[in-house]
Structure 1
Amino acid sequence: MDIHIARMTQKYAVEALCWKYEKPYDFYNNVLTTSAIVELLGGGYYAIVDSSCKLIGFFCTGRSAKIPAGDRNAVYIEDCVDLGLGMHPSLTGKGKGDLFLKRILHFIEEEHKGKPIRLTVASFNKRAIRLYKKNGFTKEHQFHYKGMEFITMKRSSAMT
């Protein structure tokens, strides 16, 4: 799978917001609204595309990658690059996540040299947690938001 990071466009934003995941991952489904499109076009989001410019995923850094309850639970105090990501539902669970994540991590590490990377994941998402651990992330904190448990995971920079 040959993948590239591209500018988030309105076309890609609309497409990503329409993705539908199977249970229990349907928690990650979005609703296509004007405000959701504006969020994805706000500058912190990037598209991941294949060699034919087909959208296969996206990622964001900064505030958009955080869960609001994390601030209230003081899990985002340390200065890190916060990362959020999503892969097309048809590609999940097929062993493609490692290359996908490595490409994102390389990009972030080039942009933010020396800064640790942190992500927040729903604790039921064992597939993602396994992938993150495999790529050097370790569990930091846990907290609840809207009846669901989340964990933060952190990775020191320059591990790829």
Structure 2
Amino acid sequence: MRTVAMTEEYAVQIANWDYEYPYEFYNMEGSEEAVQELLAGSYQAVVAGEDVIGYFCTGKAAQVPAGQLAGIYDEPGIDIGVGMRPDLTGQKRGRPFFSFVLDHIDQGGLDLRLTVAAFNRRAIHLYEVFDFRIVNSFLRGNTEFYVMKR
């Protein structure tokens, strides 16, 4: 695995990933807005061989706007967001992928913080393995989100 700057080709691929229920919540449906966000933010593609297998971002791009409005992210920390290609999920590949991502984030002495939909028990379990703990929660519409810190 290696990280590369997000390209338009990778952004289009990621924006068209199709997660199955209940993870379809994360589908971007190929929107141009999603592609532009992936290109404009602090997103890095994670590549194996020539294939994009995931991505991560840091900073404001990793925050959920409803959490910003609620002041959830006011404390210092490095916000991280991650995504893995749908056909690779649920196959015990999360640990090496997430470990790789964590190794590529410069913490600058700050805590790492991530936000995850509360229904995503699979991701929450993974984050707990890496010593992230739920420290807060908030609602966006009908969806509850957990904020986890390490």
TM-score range, shorter chain: over 0.9
Aligned partner of 2:86 among 86, 89, 97:
89
Gaps in structure 2 of 5+ consecutive residues: none
Question: Could you say which residue in structure 1 is the equivalent of 2:44?
Answer: 46
Percent of aligned pairs sharing the same letter: 43
Please report how far the alpha carbon of residue 101 of structure 1 lies from its aligned counterpart in structure 2 after TM superposition: 0.5
Q: Name the counterpart of 1:107.
A: 104
**Residue in 2 aligned with 1:59?**
56
Q: Which amino acid aligns with 2:108?
A: K
One-letter amino acid of the counterpart of residue 131, structure 1 = L
Structure 2 CA distance, aligned partners of 1:121 and 1:47? 20
Matches within 5 A, 1:110-149: 111-149=106-144
Unaligned runs of 5+ in 1: 156-160
In angstroms, what is the RMSD of aligned CA positions? 1.0
Please give the per-residue CA displacement for 1:66-109, whole angstroms capped at 9, x wherever unaligned: 1111022221111111111110000101100001111111111x
Whichever residue aligns with residue 19 of structure 1, its letter is W
Counterpart position of 2:32? 34
Alpha-carbon offset, residue 31 of structure 1: 2.6
**1:43: Cα distance to partner?**
4.2
Selected match of 1:22 from 20, 23, 26: 20
- How far the C-alpha of 1:112 sits from its partner, in A, is 2.9
Question: Normalization by structure 2: what TM-score?
Answer: 0.96
Counterpart residue identity of residue 39, structure 2: L
Corresponding letter in the other structure for 2:52: L
| Separation in 1, partners of 2:118, 2:92 | 20
1:72 aligns with 2:69: yes
Deviations 1:22-54 (A, max 9, x none): 00000000032332222111140000010x121
SS in 2 for 1:41: helix
Amino acid at match of 1:140: V
Q: Give the TM-score of the pair, scaled to structure 1.
A: 0.90
Give the conservation status (yes or no) of the 8 Å contact 2:18–2:29. Answer: no
Structure-1 residue corresponding to 2:2: 4
Deviations 1:91-133 (Å, cap 9, x if unpaired)? Answer: 101100001111111111xx23311110000000000000000
What is the letter of the counterpart of residue 107 of structure 2?
A: H
